[in-house]
Structure 1
Amino acid sequence: MEARDSELEKELNATLQARSELGPEYESALIDSFLEKVDRRLDETLDRRVRRHLAEQQIAVTRRARTPQEPLGHFGERFGFGIISLILAIALSAIGVANAGIEGLAVAWLGIVGVNAFQAARSRPLFRHSKARAESDWED
């Protein structure tokens, strides 16, 4: 930033030198020329900050798109898993009773309950992360 300030200072010195050489009749044109340079400098700085801010927003949006907004296993997935589990429970119960009697039925249902408990535990996040508000250039 200091290099640009020195460039602006050189422009100001050149404008003042030209005013002293040309006289007061060219003062307004010289001031307008210098102010145009300052205006361009401000526009460049503002454009650079806006581009950086937009890039930061785009990165934040991209990161949010990659990370799930809902906990693992949202309602539809859990509901579907429960329905499929109950449908398969009928067949597994019949197979367990036919092959091992009541003990087979107990083992089949212990397996069904275990799989559903694991799915329920997997779909609930242990910790919820709060996102701190990021500082930006707009607050400088």
Structure 2
Amino acid sequence: MQPERDVRDELRATIDARRDLGPDYEPALVDSLADRLDATIAARVEAELKRRGKETKRKNDSSRSMVPIALGSMGIGVPLTAIAASQAGTVGLIVAWLSIVLINIAAAGALMRRP
């Protein structure tokens, strides 16, 4: 809300200056106001790009961090599947893969909460 107030204050000041100085100074006042508006818009765009860049970086970091966890789960899951199925049957297989899934969900949740 503050930047909008600053722009309005600038516009009011320019109109007041035009009234005080007369129409001879109008082009200079308009150019000055346009320059200040351009600077304000550029600052807003830059701030938004920085904010979005941080969000994008955070998302990219999270997805890259999950790759080793996912690959590790698959690497452990294959032999664990064979062992669980041969030793405990279907129940062992379900317990093994349920454990792997829960570990991955917990890891993903921890990465999402990380700033």
TM-score by length of 1: 0.53
Identity %: 22
Q: Which ranges in structure 2 are unaligned for 5 or more consecutive residues?
A: 106-115
Find the structure with the greater CA-based Rg: 1
The answer to whether residue 56 in structure 2 is matched with residue 57 in structure 1 is: yes
The answer to whether residue 57 in structure 2 is matched with residue 73 in structure 1 is: no
Q: Which ranges in structure 1 are unaligned for 5 or more consecutive residues?
A: 86-109, 130-140
**Hey, what's the Cα distance between the residues in 2 that align with 1:65 and 1:114?**
35
- Other-structure match for 1:114: 87
In the TM superposition, residue 25 of structure 1 has moved relative to its aligned partner by 1.6
Which structure's residues are more often helix, by fraction?
Answer: 2
- Shift >2 Å, 4+ stretches: 68-71, 121-126
**Hey, what's the Cα distance between the residues in 1 that align with 2:97 and 2:87?**
12
Q: Which amino acid in structure 1 is aligned with residue 29 of structure 2? A: L
Aligned residues: 97
Q: Which amino acid in structure 2 is aligned with residue 73 of structure 1? A: M
Q: Which amino acid in structure 1 is aligned with residue 50 of structure 2? A: R
C-alpha RMSD of matched pairs (Å): 3.7
- Per-residue CA deviations over 1:75-121 (Å, capped at 9, x if unaligned) read x984xx59xx9xxxxxxxxxxxxxxxxxxxxxxxx99x439x969x4
Q: Which amino acid in structure 2 is aligned with residue 45 of structure 1? A: R
TM-score by length of 2: 0.62
- Other-structure match for 2:16: 17
Q: Secondary structure at the match of 1:73?
A: helix
- Other-structure match for 2:37: 38
**Hey, what's the Cα distance between the residues in 1 that align with 2:60 and 2:16?**
51
**Hey, what's the Cα distance between the residues in 1 that align with 2:38 and 2:87?**
70
